[in-house]
């Protein structure tokens, strides 16, 4: 009798775990779907033909993340500053700026490829450092974000990190050309 009660309780616990897992996956799936369609609706028409997009993720607050869309010059100049128009999207579940798009005007810099970095081997990939910086607002609401990334020799992907002040944050990002 005790064994059958324990088996019934165990089966009930297993059903509960499966139900909770299915519910969590459904919530994640539908939240992601809603976020995707909300993001598409929020993109300004100026960025409809932007060839660069990616994602960002805060390292300090794991649920703070979003997407990036940028307009970079074509071709990207080397050894001189260039302007970058970008939008930063905050996912709908972010506690900060939930579901909003923030336009940013940045200044970028990409040095020339240093051929000596290959050491004479043309099969060795070259990693080129790139920087982007943003300053917005004024007075106590001023925000500064510094992005530091590496890119390939064709400058078709930027992978790196960022540091923000006002609010203070650090994280990572990927920006790819399509």
Q: Is the pLDDT of residue 164 over 80?
A: yes
pLDDT the model gives residue 120: 54
Q: For residues 38 and 61, is the Cβ–Cβ distance under 8 A?
A: no
From 91, 51, 57, select the one nearest 75 (Cα to Cα).
51
Compute how many other C-beta atoms are within 10 angstroms of the C-beta atom of residue 102. Answer: 14
Give the pLDDT mean for 154-171: 90
pLDDT the model gives residue 12: 75
Task: Dump pLDDT digits (tens) for 12-50.
Answer: 788 899 999 999 999 999 999 999 999 999 999 999 889
Tokens at 142, concatenated: 């001023």
| pTM > 0.85 | no
Q: Is the pLDDT of residue 90 over 90?
A: yes
Q: Is the pLDDT of residue 173 over 80?
A: yes
Contacts of 120 by beta carbon, 8 Å cutoff, 6+ apart: none
Answer positive or negative: Cα dihedral of 74, 134, 171, 41: negative
Share of the chain above pLDDT 90, in %: 59
Task: Dump pLDDT digits (tens) for 104-162.
Answer: 999 999 988 764 455 555 555 667 788 888 887 656 667 889 999 998 888 899 999 99
Q: For residues 89 and 67, is the Cβ–Cβ distance under 8 A?
A: yes
Q: Strands 128-136, 101-109: parallel, antiparallel or unpaired by DSSP? A: antiparallel
Where would I find the beta strands (DSSP E) of the chain?
A: 52-58, 65-71, 81-90, 101-109, 128-136, 143-151, 157-165, 169-177
Q: Strands 143-151, 128-136: parallel, antiparallel or unpaired by DSSP? A: antiparallel
Using alpha carbons only, how large is the chain's radius of gyration in Å?
Answer: 22
pLDDT the model gives residue 147: 92
Q: Is the pLDDT of residue 4 over 60?
A: yes
Element (H, E) at 28: helix 2-42
Give the pLDDT mean for 76-82: 92
Residue 82 pLDDT level (bands cut at 50, 70, 90): very high
Give the pLDDT mean for 88-117: 85
């Amino acid at each position: 009798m005790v064994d059958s009660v324990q088996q019934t309780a165990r089966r009930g616990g297993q059903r509960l775990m499966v139900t909770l897992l299915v519910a969590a996956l459904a919530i994640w799936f539908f939240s992601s779907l809603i976020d995707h369609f909300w993001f598409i609706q929020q993109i300004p028409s100026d960025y409809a033909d932007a060839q660069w997009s990616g994602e960002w993720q805060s390292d300090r607050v794991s649920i703070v993340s979003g997407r990036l869309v940028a307009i970079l010059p074509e071709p990207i100049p080397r050894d001189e500053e260039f302007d970058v128009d970008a939008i930063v999207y905050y996912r709908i579940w972010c506690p900060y700026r939930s579901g909003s798009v923030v336009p940013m005007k940045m200044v970028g810099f990409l040095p020339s490829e240093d051929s000596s970095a290959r050491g004479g081997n043309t099969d060795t990939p070259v990693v080129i450092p790139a920087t982007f910086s943003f300053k917005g607002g004024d007075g106590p609401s001023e925000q500064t974000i510094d992005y530091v990334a590496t890119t390939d020799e064709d400058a078709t992907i930027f992978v790196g990190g960022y540091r923000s002040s006002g609010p203070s944050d650090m994280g990572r990002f990927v920006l790819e050309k399509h």
